[in-house]
């Protein structure tokens, strides 16, 4: 085994195995790696053939790690972590530095908090100082090099890059979802709406031809993070972006009872002033954010 691993194993096989083992889904790992699902499956099969071991148990459109796969995954993850950290130190050497990033609170709680550990493992010398910005008035007083804003993506003088696909669908706790077989079953269920969003429940209900439900009980809050927290605690149904429900503690408690979604004008964007050069550390964090986006 030692000879096989040191001589002929392919790094892309290991990266694909790590993502599939972590997510237990060829589909989700394909999205993360910007590959097709069939390519992920092929990479796993090549690795299994090379090792002459079954790493996954496949059944009923789901996968689980085999005993061998469970033993192998931590070794692969640690090896990739060391490789990334070492390469970062050699090719992008930086002294200890602090980056201030103005971040929309929802994006910070539901996306960045679930992934920032990965950035720190590669760049432990870079400290990220997050400052909350949620409203347009906050943008005007920002002094940070990088910002993550919610809006339509058009801010004069700023470069902006979409981080989350602008699609909203309902999410709720599993117990609530069990009572929702059809969109019309939302009758009488509290709808959690977020102030300041271009589209919300009225748009989704109109698409479902359920305008009669637009006057039922609503609860309003000023962030998607608050709406998700309420939904996870079993109080009502919120509209949420799929990429913000991929990972994290809150995401584990929520499911999408319906496939139907609406396209919204508002989403989350990475922004920085186009006429100013970014520091080395900010460029590294920018590139990491953009490479971590889902494939949409």
pLDDT at 148 over 90: yes
Who wins on pLDDT, 113 or 134?
Answer: 113
pLDDT at 203: 92
Fold classification of 2-91 is Arc Repressor Mutant, subunit A (1.10.10)
Q: Inter-axis angle of helices 26-33 and 37-51, to 10 degrees? A: 110
Q: pLDDT, tens digit, for every residue of 177-233?
A: 999 999 999 999 999 999 878 788 999 999 999 999 988 888 999 889 999 999 999
pLDDT at 147: 93
Q: pLDDT, tens digit, for every residue of 117-128?
A: 989 888 888 899
Q: Which of 161, 152, 111, 164 is nearest to 278 (CA)?
A: 161
* Cα distance between residue 250 and residue 57, in whole Å: 27
Structure token pair of residue 152 = 């339509």
pLDDT at 87 over 80: no
What average pLDDT does the chain have? 87
pLDDT at 295: 45
DSSP string, 146-205: EEEEEESS--TTEEEEE-S-SEEEEEEEHHHHTT-SSGGGGTTSPEEEETT-SS-HHHHH
CATH classification of 167-263 is 3.90.78.10, yes or no? no
pLDDT band at 7 (very low <50, low <70, confident <90, very high): low
Q: Which of 197-201, 237-241, 265-269 is least confident?
A: 197-201
Instruction: Indicate the pairing of strand 167-173 with strand 237-241.
Output: antiparallel
pLDDT at 291: 86
pLDDT at 232: 93
User: Do 97-165+267-291 and 167-263 share a fold?
Assistant: yes
pLDDT average, residue stretch 236-261: 90
Structure token pair of residue 75 = 């070794």
Give the domain ranges of the chain: 2-91, 97-165+267-291, 167-263
Q: Which of 17-21, 51-55, 131-135 is least confident?
A: 131-135
pLDDT at 296: 41
Considering the segment(s) 97-165+267-291 as one domain, its CATH architecture is: 3-Layer(aba) Sandwich (3.40)
pLDDT average, residue stretch 130-143: 69
pLDDT average, residue stretch 39-64: 90
């Amino acid at each position: 085994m030692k000879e096989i691993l040191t001589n002929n194993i392919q790094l892309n096989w290991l990266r694909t195995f790590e993502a599939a083992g972590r997510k237990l889904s060829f589909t989700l790992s394909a999205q993360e790696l910007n590959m097709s699902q069939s390519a992920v499956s092929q990479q796993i099969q090549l690795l299994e053939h090379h090792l002459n071991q079954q790493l996954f148990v496949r059944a009923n459109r789901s996968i689980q790690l085999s005993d061998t796969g469970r033993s192998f995954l931590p070794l692969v993850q640690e090896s990739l972590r060391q490789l990334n950290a070492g390469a970062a130190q050699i090719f992008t050497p930086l002294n200890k530095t602090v980056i201030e990033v103005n971040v929309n609170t929802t994006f910070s709680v539901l996306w960045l908090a679930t992934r920032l550990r990965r950035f720190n493992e590669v760049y432990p010398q870079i400290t990220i100082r997050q400052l909350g910005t949620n409203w347009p008035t906050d943008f005007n007083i920002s002094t940070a090099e990088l910002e993550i804003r919610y809006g339509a993506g058009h801010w004069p003088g700023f470069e902006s890059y979409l981080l989350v696909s602008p699609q909203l669908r309902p999410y709720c706790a599993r117990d609530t979802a069990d009572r929702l077989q059809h969109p019309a079953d939302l009758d009488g269920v509290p709808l959690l709406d977020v102030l300041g969003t271009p589209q919300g429940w009225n748009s989704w209900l109109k698409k479902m031809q359920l305008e009669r439900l637009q006057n039922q009980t609503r609860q309003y809050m000023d962030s998607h993070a608050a709406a998700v927290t309420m939904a996870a605690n079993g109080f009502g149904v919120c509209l949420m972006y799929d990429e913000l429900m991929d990972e994290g503690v809150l995401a584990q408690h929520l499911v999408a009872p319906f496939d139907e979604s609406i396209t919204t004008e508002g989403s989350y964007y990475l922004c920085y002033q186009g006429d100013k050069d970014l520091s080395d550390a900010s460029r590294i964090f920018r590139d990491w954010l953009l490479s971590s986006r889902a494939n949409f």
